[in-house]
Chains A and B, each alone.
Chain A
Amino acid sequence: DTGVSQDPRHKITKRGQNVTFRCDPISEHNRLYWYRQTLGQGPEFLTYFQNEAQLEKSRLLSDRFSAERPKGSFSTLEIQRTEQGDSAMYLCASSPHRAEAFFGQGTRLTVV
């Protein structure tokens, strides 16, 4: 399968713990996006990368969130000191150019 892969699919964590999610984009896609989606809402933009450079980060994103894309390949999204409000689906997408993003199946985070 050469689609976008996200790991894990599901994560349950206790409030205050740190979590890290991984996204493997489609090979040779130079753009990578992270979104957060809660029930009944559309995906909310978090950040995106052009190769290894993080070009934009949402102002809604607190300092507890950080994303990296070393070497312009896979990406990680870390949430420190998780809160119940962080519970959501975290979606990763990659794109060969500026349009047409291809999404992974997401990581469902539950903070208890």
Chain B
Amino acid sequence: TQLLEQSPQFLSIQEGENLTVYCNSSSVFSSLQWYRQEPGEGPVLLVTVVTGGEVKKLKRLTFQFGDARKDSSLHITAAQPGDTGLYLCAGENNDMRFGAGTRLTVKP
């Protein structure tokens, strides 16, 4: 079983729409990271959240860490085709474990 559950697994939307993807676990994490990965490449770090309830913004992306530090969400406003990719969350305690990812496709 996956330590981190990401939903939805796949998401296909039109350019300009808003979306939210989720990362859930029964475990408490010291920190949680979000990455974006394109085919044939390694994941690229987007953000790290550390404090329960923390909200971070990166242009059109808003990341939230749950109060109990067990879950997180990523909201994208006015999605663009360049946002297409695999979005991965990773929970960190001593090591770092990943979810299976949400594959996002933004159609022009």
B63 contacts the other chain (CB 8 A)? no
Q: Are B42 and A98 in contact (CB under 8 A)?
A: no
Q: Are B44 and A56 in contact (CB under 8 A)?
A: no
Q: Which residue, B42, B48, B90, B99, has most C-beta atoms of chain A within 10 A?
A: B42
Complex partner residue of A99 from B31, B42, B43, B99, CB under 8 angstroms: B31
Q: Which of A38-46, A63-71, A75-83 contacts B (4 or more CB under 8 A)?
A: A38-46
- Name the A residues within 8 Å of B30 (CB-CB): 98-99
- Name the A residues within 8 Å of B35 (CB-CB): 103
Q: Are B92 and A98 in contact (CB under 8 A)?
A: yes
Q: With A42-B99, A42-B100, A105-B42 in contact, do A99 and B50 touch (Cβ < 8 Å)?
A: yes
Q: How large is the interface on B (under 10, 10 to 19, 20 to 34, 35 or more residues)?
A: 20 to 34
Q: How many A-B residue pairs have CB under 8 A?
A: 64
A56 and B95 CA atoms in complex are apart in Å by 8
A90 and B73 CA atoms in complex are apart in Å by 27
User: Which residue in chain A gives the minimum CB-CB distance to B99?
Assistant: A42
- Name the A residues within 8 Å of B88 (CB-CB): 42-43
B65 contacts the other chain (CB 8 A)? no
- In the complex, what's the smallest C-beta–C-beta distance from A24 to chain B, in angstroms? 14
- In the complex, what's the smallest C-beta–C-beta distance from B52 to chain A, in angstroms? 15
Q: Which residues from chain B sit less than 8 Å from chain A, CB to CB?
A: 2, 6, 30-31, 33, 35, 40-45, 48, 50, 88, 90, 92, 94-101, 103
Q: Which residues from chain A sit less than 8 Å from chain B, CB to CB?
A: 4, 33, 35, 40-45, 48, 55-56, 91, 93, 98-106, 108
